[in-house]
Chains A and B, each alone.
Chain A
């Protein structure tokens, strides 16, 4: 089959690799009908996540049709149309039972690696380094899905692939980010990063009862989407002092909750952002937590900072003093997918949201390498790329021939 493979920093290739097979009794094999590039794939592309190996199949946002099931999987049958969560969960350990699905004890075969780094291991993930299990990902024609009797969500034929695909990661991720904010009626929520997760965090904050949502970014097209689709007020951090602006917009009190939907590769215009850039470029630091620092500074006393953005290592100049002084609540972690997918499917079915609004690029899987670069550089107003395996390549020259919706 054809699959998008990681071949080193900024090197992604579409290669022919062996088809997956059933390995365990609860497995299923899914033929991928639609898949996407996630912002967190760019952390792999940029070489920020350790324990990647040459030839690793990328991708953790995918859906498709079940073509084979293991002998102990009685919940799925061949022909089912499913969306697969990016986290792999056994459904039976302490953490799964506590609804902390992304912390599953039993799904990471390389748990010892994560234990060395983090003390304990979270769940295995599709296509996201060997520390997270080394599972081949979903930017491919077929994927083996472990514990497929608890993960994949069956979706009705009345909804298109594009309407339900983002249940695999970014919609639940944005939603959990907002859910973690404990929003009460009248609250103001500020969202750093208006990429796909930020867009869903904005929508979700409103769905959960926020009165105002403020989106922060530097790309005009993303701010426009946050305003037009999300109904957010927007701040372009290249033009304004974000802290000052947020203070002004909230009567000097600060937002009730702040969401860092940026993660470890933040850009910024302040001194600390340049300091992070310099240190990470010389391998003296692991992450660039500029957005997180700002979210902590901006948040009102007793408020919540929610972190759906990915961090990987040891953060430098982390303002714990400010978080302590203001008695902030910090909430973070990979999304507990299985908890949110069914309720969000219901919201889609009821017409409360159509997640396809974020798609800007529709391409063939064969065009993935070029689109990784375009997405990373935010060229061509790129916000979200979806890919069809099996479709003919259409990009002939770099940046050219891209079909924009």
Chain B
């Protein structure tokens, strides 16, 4: 039973990914002609919701048990979304607005705090991080960061289940060798804000980097939990990113055991 469910999960996920990928590709082409068309992605999500809802319902109904009933019941919000084009009101309360203050205020959004120490002078550490275009060298989920002005940048990442996610960010605070803070701008796929703080520690011999990231994932907190099922937990992802950062700066390379690792 469990393996079967797992396979269905994976298949569902694949379907969704490929549908959304195609739509995203189309959306990029559209964006070159007109100016963005957010309805196409909503269409894809409607179809995906309808498809996955139907599958869940069928699967649930075929099991005459408590589990089956639960599965069938869980298809309701998906079917609702698929048919009406928006999520039931009970769920949308959790789904973010694209304004960082609204989406990330209080306990909303996902918070990740990680830190690392390096045996590298603070100005080298700061300078490397401030080259935002270097970030994808050690942040595994980032595809590309483009600095569009001294304070603005465009980010492309792989989100949950390999979906491409894009956003524009603005640096809202910058003190050389101390701090760098940013937040995403309205119209982004994700709502995110964060800061990196740099300190010297151990009497100035080492540098410590503290990262605080906040984001409202594309499907709200529920989405983050689902993402956790399919990929790594956010804090583990950031920890691995920081580890690669340290290795790149300290050792000059990221260690690999074989060509495939």
Contacts and interface: CB of A to CB of B under 8 A. Distances in A.
Interface string A106-144: 111111100000000000100000100111100000000
Nearest to B256: A23
Given A90-B251, A93-B250, A134 B257 contact: yes
Interface string B146-159: 00000000000000
Interface string B168-211: 00000000000000000000000000000000000000100000
B36 interface: no
B251 A92 contact: yes
B240 interface: yes
A94 interface: yes
B250 A106 contact: yes
B113 interface: no
Contacts of A108: 255
Given A111-B243, A112-B236, A112-B240, A90 B250 contact: yes
A133 B258 contact: no
Interface in B238-261: 239-240, 243, 246-247, 250-259, 261
Nearest to A92: B250
Given A94-B119, A112-B236, A146 B252 contact: no
A25 interface: yes
Please report whether the interface of chain B is mostly helix, strand, loop or mixed according to DSSP.
loop
A106 B206 contact: no
Contact of B206 (A90, A91, A94, A146): A94
B257 A124 contact: yes
A171 interface: no
Nearest to A94: B119
A24 interface: yes
Contacts of A133: 255, 257
Given A106-B247, A106-B250, A146 B255 contact: yes
A134 B236 CA distance: 20
A268 B252 CA distance: 48
Given A92-B250, A112-B236, A112-B240, A24 B119 contact: no
B256 A25 contact: no
A111 B240 CA distance: 9
A109 B252 CA distance: 14
B250 A24 contact: no
A184 interface: no
A135 B119 contact: no
A334 B240 CA distance: 24
B117 interface: yes
A136 B258 contact: yes
Contacts of A130: 257
A154 to B, nearest CB: 22
A106 B259 contact: no
Contacts of A105: 246, 250
Contact of B117 (A26, A92, A94): A94
Contacts of B261: 109, 134
A26 B251 CA distance: 9
B259 A25 contact: no
Contacts of B243: 111
A109 B257 contact: yes
A90 B246 CA distance: 12
A6 to B, nearest CB: 14
Given A93-B119, A97-B119, A111-B243, A25 B255 contact: no
A395 interface: no
B251 A134 contact: no
Interface string A198-230: 000000000000000000000000000000000
A373 to B, nearest CB: 28
A279 B55 CA distance: 48
Given A94-B206, A106-B246, A25 B258 contact: no
A320 B19 CA distance: 60
Interface in A83-107: 88, 90-94, 97, 105-107
A72 interface: yes
B229 to A, nearest CB: 18
Contacts of A134: 257-258, 261
Given A133-B257, A146-B255, 11 more contacts: A23-B256, A72-B253, A90-B255, A93-B250, A94-B206, A106-B251, A107-B251, A112-B236, A133-B255, A134-B257, A136-B258
23 contacts: A21-B259, A25-B252, A26-B252, A72-B253, A90-B247, A92-B250, A92-B251, A93-B119, A93-B251, A94-B117, A94-B119, A106-B247, A106-B250, A106-B255, A107-B255, A108-B255, A109-B254, A109-B261, A112-B236, A130-B257, A134-B257, A146-B255, A146-B256
Interface of B: 117, 119, 206, 236, 239-240, 243, 246-247, 250-259, 261
Interface of A: 21, 23-26, 72, 88, 90-94, 97, 105-112, 124, 130, 133-136, 146-147
